[in-house]
Amino acid sequence: MNILLYMLKRITYNIPVVLLLTLFVFSMVRFLPGDPADILLSGEGGAEDPVVRATLMKELGLDKPIPVQYGIWLWRAVHGNFGKSVYSQEEVFTLIMDRFPATLMLALSSMIVSIMVALPAGIISAVKRQKPADYGAMIFALLGISIPEFWFGIMLILTFSLWFPILPSMGFMSPFQDFFGSLKFLVLPAVALGLRMAGVVTRMTRSSMLDELGQDYVRTARSKGLSERAVIFIHTLKNALIPTVTIVGLQFGTILGGSVVIEMVFSWPGVGQLIINSILTRDYLVVQAAILLLAVFFLFVNLVVDFVYTLLNPRVELT
């Protein structure tokens, strides 16, 4: 099957999934205790006035049956209209989009940090199997998947901001304002957030490297006299990385989820912090929209990973 056709198929597969997501998030507000109209109108000015309220309800279709309400809500959502925040009176969509770059920057940096650590660790661990380096890497990976990232973050603050004050414990600076200055703020949260993924990717890389090293083509490469280095880097690694790519895509979700907590630890002004603060201030329209957008973004990233995977791996069957 043609690769373009395959991509089209993957995209269409995701359309019902996105629709279900919107349905789920739409229902969320209906399940909240209290009158949904109160929640939905809370951001609009003058909603206490019965006349204004009636007009607003009509405008938002709240006097219509639920399926129609969903349709209206969806139509507005597709146009980026998620209503107004009760707390700040700002457009919900603008509020989220203002903070999205910070979250994306944090998420991408922690992915880079963790891959930079995990790939070498996983490769060394597989090549030096059952040797001290292997045990070291495996213990590191186990700690990575066992230590809560937010506690690790607090420990980093304790060490590098309080005991040896070399890095700031909280805050954010735009890289466009001062690139190196912004890195100082980025280091600790990115390392804390990347820990878990580093553990997962190390384990994955090790096990897929071991799989590949046992294959016939590796034995052939060795027996024709290639150096071990060439066997590993030219022949094995390329194939071993294929499952790693998949796991990196899936782990992106963990990173996004983890960013919610890490942003609170480091006062990082991203979408995660917005979600938690909005839950605490009962700003439900913001919670609803932010969660929907993060989930859709996660789906999108997985779609991209899927394409990269097919491009990397000619063996994959396009069905």
Partner 1 sequence: MAAKDISAIPEAAEAPGFSWDRFGERFRDRFQDFRKNRLALAGIIIVISVVVVALFAPVIQIHDPLQQNIANRLHSPNWEHFFGTDHLGRDVWSRIVHGSRVALLVGLIAVGIGVIFGTPIGAIAGYYRGKVDEVIMRIMDAGLAFPPILMALVVVTILGSSLFNTMIAIGVDYIPRFARVIRGSVLSEREKEYVEAGRMVGEANLSILFRQILPNSLSPLIVQATVFIAYAMLTEAALSFLGLGIQPPNPSWGSMLNEAKLFIESDPYLAIIPGLAISITVLGFNLFGDGLRDILDPRLAKR
**Interface with partner 1 (CB under 8 A):** 16-17, 20-21, 24-25, 28, 31-33, 129, 142-143, 145-148, 150-152, 154-155, 157-158, 162, 207, 210, 253-258, 260-261, 264, 275-276, 279-280, 284, 287, 291, 294-296, 298-299
3-class SS string, 17-85:
HHHHHHHHHHHHHHHCCCCHHHHHHCCCCCCCCHHHHHHHHHHCCCCCCHHHHHHHHHHHHHCCCCCEC
Which residue, 115 or 271, is less far from partner 1 as judged by CB? 271
Nearer to partner 1, 56 or 191 (CB): 191
Q: What's the rounded Cα separation, in Å, for the pair 254 and 195?
A: 11
Q: How far is the CB of 34 from partner 1 (least distance, A)?
A: 11
**Angle at the Cα of 79 from the Cα atoms of 78 and 83, rounded to 5 degrees:** 100
Q: Which is nearer to partner 1, 41 or 275 (CB)?
A: 275
| Min dist. Cβ of residue 113 to partner 1 (A) | 19
- Per the CB < 8 A criterion, the answer to whether 293 and 299 are in contact is no
Residue closer to partner 1 by CB (options 75, 151) is 151
Whether 126 contacts 205, CB under 8 Å = yes
Smallest gap from residue 177 Cβ to partner 1 (A) = 28
**Type of residue numbered 214:** G
For residues 214 and 314, which CB has a smaller minimum distance to partner 1 in the complex? Answer: 214
Least distance CB 15 / partner 1 (angstroms): 10
The minimum distance between CB 252 and partner 1, in angstroms, equals: 8
Q: How far is the CB of 228 from partner 1 (least distance, A)?
A: 19
Residue given tokens 């940090």 in the structure block? 113
Question: b/e per residue, 277-287, with b = 16+ CB within 10 A?
Answer: ebeeeebbbbb
The Cα–Cα gap between 83 and 92 comes to 6
Residue 56 or 290: the one with the smaller Cβ distance to partner 1 is 290
Calculate ∠ Cα 287-26-12, nearest 5°.
105
**Closer by beta carbon to partner 1, 56 or else 201:** 201
Q: Is 244 exposed, middle or buried (0-12, 13-18, 19+ CB in 10 A)?
A: buried
We find the least distance from the C-beta atom of residue 288 to partner 1, in angstroms, to be: 9
